[in-house]
A = this chain, B = another copy of it.
């Protein structure tokens, strides 16, 4: 870039802005989603993300550990700054697009969940530690946000020993949860097990006005629960009691299971893998529709909609449209058409749609509801109503409620395999691998998925992911 003109001042960031900026996430899980997207996106390309609670000293920390490509010092600096998003350079083809867009996900997400965040990362070139800490900035009376960063060379984790470097180390030791450099290095060494990756510690977790930690780690030891989800709507005394808040608003495990339209990355919460739901493949009486609004360009692809009945046990509560943007959930169970009426019409019907060309809102929990969005929703409502009417004779029959096809994700390569007609998904073992498939064409992890399967699911062979060059080197 050009050299900046002399004497023109930088726009600065007040430490208080870290909190202000995070308030866009009213719902705590919206903040989680940002951090999960960061691991998922093609610039990091993690196979597995582990979300956990960990006590360090006396401090309860939320941790996120991914096995992605990791970051060098330059990338950590961008991560701790605002608006530096070069994810679009990693646009790996049509259907593995980055969710990240604003270069604000880590800041808004982490500072929504806690006051402080410590990042350990190891890429192929180096290992780094970065601190984004409101506690630190308050303590030193900083008038703008500064971010202590340490860089270590590989493989021996050596660093420079000058005054500047020691200042960074001192700040990190004093205001992170780790009290010695040996402990810091211990964390970096732990990352080596997956060759590259990133571990985030979030601490001084967000508390409610009552003083209680917002997230609930006690009620379910395998989950993280949000007792106070945004959007709980009790203004309608007659129809919508508080208990009606859908489970995905309260259970991180449930939310993660529907977070991506074509689930790829394995998410592990508190040691237990999330069973991803491939919603569009879990329906019965499925129909595929297309719709091209009049305002769309001649060469634009029409919108694809999959409509069917939910097979889930909660099908009488959780139904409506699943709206995704670049594979990521924006709205779940959005009721349209008949479903907005207080009768049985439309109950149990789910529509799955990906609207990449509509702008998501700032916190990525909805779409910008402009005329284009509205016209699409009207059309989808009409389609859903027509689907319902066409299924009149079978609506109330208690048919088997098995999906048209049973699909299962391999626990080794993360690919989705279609099982033989009539296979009951519930009868499958807890862990399922490709070799268990009775279809000989798709019973090995190195086989591609069927064409009908998500074309973007990258082939992952267990333990040899690192044989391919990290993305950052391929560019």
Contacts and interface: CB of A to CB of B under 8 A. Distances in A.
Contacts of A399: none
A140 B2 CA distance: 6
A133 to B, nearest CB: 11
Interface stretch (A40-48, A187-195, A233-241): A233-241
Contact of A6 (B85, B164, B335): B164
Given A11-B81, A368-B230, A361 B17 contact: no
B369 A230 contact: yes
Contacts of A132: 11
A24 B26 contact: no
B167 A7 contact: yes
Interface in A309-364: 334-337, 340-341, 359, 361-363
Interface in A129-168: 132, 140-149, 162-165, 167-168
A164 B16 CA distance: 30
A10 B392 CA distance: 63
A243 interface: no
Contacts of A77: 9, 12
Interface string A367-411: 011111011011001100100000000000000000000000000
Contacts of A378: 234-235, 237
A440 interface: no
Interface stretch (A100-108, A273-281, A461-469): A100-108
A83 interface: yes
Contact of A142 (B1, B102, B164, B374): B1
Most B Cβ at <10 Å: residue of A4, A162, A164? A4
Interface residues of A, number: 88
Most B Cβ at <10 Å: residue of A141, A145, A372? A145
A1 B12 CA distance: 16
Contact of A10 (B2, B10, B341, B370): B10
A10 B8 contact: no
Contacts of A146: 4-5, 8-11
A423 interface: no
A238 B9 CA distance: 56
A217 interface: no
A77 B233 CA distance: 41
A361 to B, nearest CB: 6
Given A16-B83, A23-B362, A236 B336 contact: yes
B362 A148 contact: no
Interface string A193-220: 0000000000000001100000000000
B12 A82 contact: yes
Nearest to A13: B82
Contacts of A16: 83-85, 103
B82 A235 contact: no
A80 interface: yes
A232 B373 CA distance: 10
Interface string A162-185: 111101101100000000000000
A15 interface: yes
Interface in A63-94: 77, 80-85
A234 B374 contact: yes
A183 to B, nearest CB: 20
A20 to B, nearest CB: 4
22 contacts: A2-B140, A2-B142, A5-B170, A9-B146, A10-B13, A10-B147, A11-B13, A11-B144, A11-B146, A12-B82, A14-B103, A20-B103, A24-B363, A26-B369, A232-B369, A233-B374, A235-B334, A235-B335, A235-B374, A236-B336, A237-B336, A238-B341
